[in-house]
Amino acid sequence: MSYCLQALQLFEGMEQQRFLAVLSEVAAVGQGGLQINEPGTSRTLKTLPGSWSDLALACLIHVGMVPQARGAVAPDA
């Protein structure tokens, strides 16, 4: 649950172009499969600082896609 809250806080106020870049990169990484049950996994992204577990990446894509699926406008659109 904390990863979802972290994702919500991260996306809040983010410019739409950066928001879409983050979602696109996480989706591309996820195409290779995410090991969400392996807490030791760590990945870096070009669009976000720091390292991210696969579970955190799954939460980023989930939180980022829910408004898109509902037809809502992305952050700062």
- H or E segment at 4? helix 2-11
The pLDDT of residue 41 is 85
pLDDT in tens, 3-53: 999 999 999 999 999 999 999 999 999 999 999 998 788 999 999 999 999
> With a threshold of 0.75, does the pTM exceed it?
yes
State how far the Cα of 8 lies from the Cα of 3, in Å rounded to an integer.
9
pLDDT in tens, 55-70: 999 999 999 988 665 6
3 state SS for 15-41:
CHHHHHHHHHHHHHHHCCCCCCCCCCC
